[in-house]
Amino acid sequence: MTNQVVHFEIIGTDPARLQDYYRDLFGWTYELGDTVSGQVSEPGRYGSVGDAGLYGGVGGGASLRPKVLFYVGVDDVGAALSRAEELGGTRVFGPDGVPGRLVVGQFTDPEGNLIGVAGGR
């Protein structure tokens, strides 16, 4: 398939808080360092993620506007949305869809970024 997503970024005003949030929610680990542009993250505050099934990063800084949108594959959409809420996120909708086929939901993280989750239930 062409035009596949090859990278993601979650940018917010408090990178460490976001990194902790996604570590607790999805088990992501980070390699902290710099990014290629100060327009993406302040120096030393970009956490590269390579264990999420897709390469990406979580970074930012006080002068950067929060932004993101992507879907994360999960086993149980309802459970993921509940966990997101427990960690300080807000459910936008879901689970919604056809169980066994495709179920989706969305939540906002503590910085207000909209994130999707998708799975079979």
For 55-88, the pLDDT digits (tens) are 677 788 888 788 776 778 889 999 999 999 999 9
Any idea which fold 69-121 has?
Answer: 2,3-Dihydroxybiphenyl 1,2-Dioxygenase; domain 1 (3.10.180)
Q: What CATH number has the domain spanning 6-66? A: 3.10.180.10
Location of each CATH 3.10.180.10 domain in the chain:
6-66, 69-121
Please state, in angstroms and rounded to a whole number, the distance separating the CA atoms of residues 75 and 56.
Answer: 21
Low-confidence ranges of the chain (pLDDT < 70): 1-7, 36-37, 51-55, 69
Please state, in angstroms and rounded to a whole number, the distance separating the CA atoms of residues 36 and 7.
Answer: 14
Please state, in angstroms and rounded to a whole number, the distance separating the CA atoms of residues 88 and 66.
Answer: 16
